[in-house]
């Protein structure tokens, strides 16, 4: 390090500044980087986007930056032309998380279409709606309620919703990325079928919306 004052640690061969490296690590560690929650890191990302993209591409990972919604996330590159080692895995949402996402996306779409600047929900209304899609075989009412609350907590951690006051959440625009209009229509068809036929099978994990996460990343 004495011979190379720019090195951050012994044997360092990296060329990025320390702050830019931290942004790169954040992109790899987490599902999303939100401009609203991390303005300093977002600014660095935009300033060094080409370099960060290059580093991710070296790992067969693609960077997606949605300027309109202020969100950045990563995607695993998959190709039929070249053999690609898979670094990221598709981590599907659970059934309860998927049901909560469908409700949140529906509310967000309804409110924004009506011209509302934002959409908000209470835990009780989310729980009341989602629980109607559970069957007796899904456990006791208490265990179902815990599954819904756990799902809400995860979506809060991921930045899809934000708790503004106890039990009341604002739905962020990230919901549109996590659950596209096309996937929402497919899931609503499944919910309609489940409502009319209690014997309808639940969707497999692969049919639930998923995001790329680093292998070994803790949920």
Separation of alpha carbons 206 and 187, rounded Å: 13
Q: Which long-range contacts (CB under 8 A, 24 or more apart) does 179-184 make?
A: 179/101, 179/102, 179/104, 179/105, 179/209, 181/109, 183/209, 184/102, 184/105, 184/106, 184/109
pLDDT tens for 173-191 read 999 999 888 888 888 887 7
* pLDDT class of 6 with cuts at 50, 70, 90: confident
| Poorest-pLDDT segment among 40-54, 89-103, 114-128, 184-198 | 184-198
pLDDT of 207 higher than 70: no
147 has pLDDT over 80: yes
Q: 214 or 103: whose pLDDT is higher?
A: 103
With the C-alpha atoms ordered 98, 204, 216, 173, is the resulting torsion angle positive or negative?
A: negative
Mean pLDDT in residue range 117-128: 94
4, pLDDT greater than 70: no
The residue-averaged pLDDT of 38-51 equals 97
Instruction: Please give the pLDDT value at position 219.
Output: 31
pLDDT of residue 196: 65
pTM: 0.75
């Amino acid at each position: 390090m004495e011979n190379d004052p720019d090195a951050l640690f012994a044997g360092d061969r990296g060329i990025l500044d320390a702050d830019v490296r931290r942004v790169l690590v954040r992109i790899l560690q987490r599902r999303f980087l939100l401009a609203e929650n991390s303005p300093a890191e977002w600014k660095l990302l935009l300033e060094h986007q080409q370099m960060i993209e290059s580093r991710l591409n070296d790992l067969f990972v693609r960077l997606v930056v949605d300027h309109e919604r202020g969100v950045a996330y990563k995607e695993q590159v998959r190709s039929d032309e070249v053999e690609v080692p898979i670094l990221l895995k598709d981590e599907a949402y659970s059934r309860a998380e998927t049901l909560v996402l469908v409700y949140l996306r529906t509310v967000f779409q309804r409110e924004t279409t009506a011209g509302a600047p934002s959409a908000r929900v209470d835990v009780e209304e989310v729980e009341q709606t989602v629980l109607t899609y559970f069957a007796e075989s899904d456990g006791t009412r208490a265990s179902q309620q815990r599954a819904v609350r756990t799902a809400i907590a995860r979506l809060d951690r991921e930045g899809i919703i934000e708790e503004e006051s106890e039990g009341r959440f604002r739905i962020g625009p990230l919901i549109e990325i996590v659950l596209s209009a096309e996937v929402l229509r497919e899931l609503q068809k499944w919910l309609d079928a489940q409502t009319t036929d209690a014997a309808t099978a639940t969707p497999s994990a692969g049919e639930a919306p998923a995001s790329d996460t680093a292998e070994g990343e803790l949920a």
